[in-house]
Amino acid sequence: MNENGAYAKLLEYEDMEGYLLSTEVTKKRVKLVNKYMKVGKQEPMMVIRVDREKRYIDLSKKKVLAADAAVAELHFKKAKMVNNILRQVAVKLSNPPEHIVSLLSLYEKFGWKLYDKYDHAFDAFRLIMSDPEAVFKEINITPEEQKVLYESIARKMAPTPLKLRAEFEMQCFTYEGIDAIKEALITARTKVNIDKDIQISFKMIAPPHYRCETITLKKNEGLALLEEGLKEVERVIKLKGGSFKVSNKPQVIGDSAKDKDIEEIMKMPGQRSDNSDADSSAAEDNDEGMGDIDLGEDIGGEQAQNDDDLRPDVGDLDEEAGESTAVAVEESKDEEEEIKEAPKEKKEKKEKKEKKEKKEKKEKKEKKEKKEKKEKKEKKDKKKEESEDEEDSDK
């Protein structure tokens, strides 16, 4: 890092070095780069120029949109997880020095095909956990490789339960009153809790607000049961003369709210979605039935040969300049400004700002009034002194 910019390593391109000019850090005026940048943070950047002869790569951070940054970071995390799993498979299949399986050979054999058939190989690995044959029949893979791949995926991508929740309002002002509300909740709970794997619980937040929720690995079945429970509550309470209103429809709570469902992934083989980039941005690290992706975790064992062949040269970067985003090691203080706040937070922030402005105006007005009173008093005192002086002189 220097006064004119900072050097960054492109993690997706064999740690090649790129240069970020101070004018490309942020849209604000930059006097000192170290005020806006900090070493040690991975961030998406855009390759704007490449000099193939001198091997210079120019980067830009201010041209990267927030949506593109999220897509790039997610794609990098997924690709790293896929790479770690395949590297582990290569190590397990190898029997040095007689037989060595390279990471590149696994990519050439079936890795790239998974990227072609699905939006991402990561989605194919998710599908392998629930329906291995649906994926293995599409690629050229031996039984031994199938076994090792399945074991590696199961170890690295452990199932994570999803929390599903729905909220509703319910009132009953008839003679039965609270008994009618209790009956509606108990009836609904009895009807939907047939499957032992998915149990729905009904809780009171504060009258007339209630909620029903469950924790399960089966997203679609859980949402369907919540819908069924809400319908049953509505049916019973209306029979008793009460009112019912859904305030929040059944949804996934937490980071998995935008996860791509397994049924959606199964439709992908043989056809790529036109908006694959948009779909991939909707998937999160903590996918349904999958664990969190740990960026800091590396697979133990000996790295297979020809690993370097997976990296593109500067010529590849030249073709992608201006289109692809590269994850670089820098941090900007403007990061917080780019984060989109929730509507509720925005409203609260706006209200606080308005209150602060009103308070400042009031204080300013009071200060002005005090100043005017003080000036009037001083004028009055001065006039009085002058009149006294005149009287003394006349005497």
Mark whether 127 and 20 lie in a shared domain: yes
Structural domain count of the chain: 3
Mark whether 142 and 219 lie in a shared domain: no
| Whole-number pLDDT of residue 336 | 42
Name the nearest CA neighbour of 149 among 119, 127, 169, 171: 127
Domain of residue 171: give its range: 165-253
Residue type present at position 331? E
- CATH code for the domain of 193: 3.30.70.1130
User: Counting every residue, how long is the chain?
Assistant: 395
Mark whether 246 and 276 lie in a shared domain: no
Model confidence pLDDT, tens digit, residues 93-108: 887 777 788 888 888 8
Mean pLDDT estimate for the chain: 76
Mark whether 214 and 271 lie in a shared domain: no
Model confidence pLDDT, tens digit, residues 157-198: 776 788 999 999 999 999 999 999 999 999 999 999 888 888
Model confidence pLDDT, tens digit, residues 335-380: 444 444 455 666 777 888 888 888 888 888 888 888 888 888 888 8
Name the nearest CA neighbour of 247 among 178, 166, 305: 166
Give the span between the Cα atoms of 80 and 293, in whole angstroms. Answer: 9
Separation of CA 137 from chain center: 33
> Which range, of 143-147, 158-162, 226-230, averages the lowest pLDDT?
158-162
Provide CB contacts within 8 A for 187, sequence distance 6+.
Answer: 232, 233, 236
Mark whether 53 and 24 lie in a shared domain: yes
Mark whether 44 and 184 lie in a shared domain: no
Query: 205: which 2 tokens?
Result: 């937040």
- Tell me, yes or no, if the pTM score tops 0.85: no
Mark whether 98 and 15 lie in a shared domain: yes
The CA-CA-CA angle for residues 48, 53, 14, to 5°, reads: 65
CB 52 within 8 A of CB 318: yes
| Whole-number pLDDT of residue 259 | 55
Mark whether 14 and 154 lie in a shared domain: yes
CB 90 within 8 A of CB 310: no
Question: Could you tell me the CA-to-CA distances from 167 to 203, 215, 223 in Å, in that order?
Answer: 10, 15, 13
Residue type present at position 136? F
Where does a domain end: 238, 253, 268?
Answer: 253
Q: Considering just the CA atoms, what is the radius of gyration of the chain in Å?
A: 32
Mark whether 205 and 331 lie in a shared domain: no
Where does a domain end: 253, 283, 310?
Answer: 253
**N-term to C-term CA, the chain:** 84
Residue 330: other Cβ atoms inside 10 A: 23
Mark whether 99 and 111 lie in a shared domain: yes
Mark whether 141 and 175 lie in a shared domain: no
Question: Cα torsion at 48, 49, 55, 61 (round to 10°)?
Answer: -30
- CATH code for the domain of 259: 1.10.150.190
